[in-house]
Amino acid sequence: MMIDLIQRIKIINAEILIPLLINCRCPLVFFSRSAAAALSSPDQDEGIFNIANPTTGCQKKIEIDDGPQLLAFYDKRIGQEVSGDPLGYEFNGYVFKITGGCDKQGFPMKQGVLTPGRVRLLLHRGAACFRGFGRRNGERRRKTVRGCIVSPEISVLNLVIVRKGENDLPGLTDKENPRMRGPKRASNIRKLFNLAKDDDVRKYVNTYRRTFTSKTGKKCSKAPKIQRLVTPVTIQRKRARIAEKKERVAKAQSEAAEYQKLLASRLKEQRDKRSESLAKRRSRLSSAAKKPAAPVTAA
């Protein structure tokens, strides 16, 4: 509501705007920190929006010089959806999703850092906002990143069109850029062309076939190699792998049974041998006990 009021009166100077709002005595008007900072500093009335349209593959950079138009994006986080109505009548009905951005010093915004300021984080290789090429395994570096909350310090904001509005935006929705390289996975190709499971995916790869001239001057054509494609050959190989696995399991079970049988026979032989030796010892002791003692002669 504060943004609508600012857009209606078109006043950017804080010396005139703030006393005017105070004199209105409207209890529903509140200033956030980002809005107050934007109104108090005239240098924060500029911003660049990188707007991308995934359906057409187009991207366009828009410079915003009006401060009230930028207030609609302040205090929003990465991943939130914002209406495009405050940007002007040509954006009526559009819904944008914030995907990232960077500040005037070039520090990028990082998802999950719930602050509008800058922080220093200990990042590992492969993490967002840190490339980490050429590092050792397990090595981490402390890097400066901007939080995921949009503030007046953000100079470039990346947006993605979620819902199209009433009017066409020149350079975004009025034309379509064909993709140079299409998807490779079979499920993604079916999803792109809205195919059923029984449709042959190989017929639709030629859409992204490109022709070029090699270094030797020969004309060549290349198409995306389909990954995870289910063919009769792959099914046959899968059956062979499963049968081989079953054979290995059956062989291991039979060998284990034979080993247990052999072990039981060996243990039985040892028990029989031990019992036989014990019987012989008992018989010797009993025969020695029954033998009469020799008479003792007087000297």
C-alpha to C-alpha distance for 213 and 219, rounded to whole angstroms: 4
pLDDT mean for each 10 residues of the chain (299 residues): 43 42 40 49 71 89 86 93 91 94 94 94 89 82 94 94 90 83 89 88 86 90 89 94 97 96 95 91 83 62
Dihedral angle sign, alpha carbons of residues 216, 217, 223, 229: negative
Dihedral angle sign, alpha carbons of residues 58, 63, 68, 74: positive
- The amino acid at 269: E
> What CA–CA distances, in Å, run from 232 to 77, 189, 243?
49, 19, 16
Indicate the pTM of the whole model.
Answer: 0.57
* Numbers of helices and strands, H then E, in the chain: 6, 9
**C-alpha neighbours within 13 Å on the C-beta side of residue 152:** 19
Neighbours of 94 (CB within 10 A): 23
Which residues, at least 6 apart from 94, have a Cβ–Cβ distance to it below 8 Å? 83, 84, 85, 161, 163, 164, 165, 169
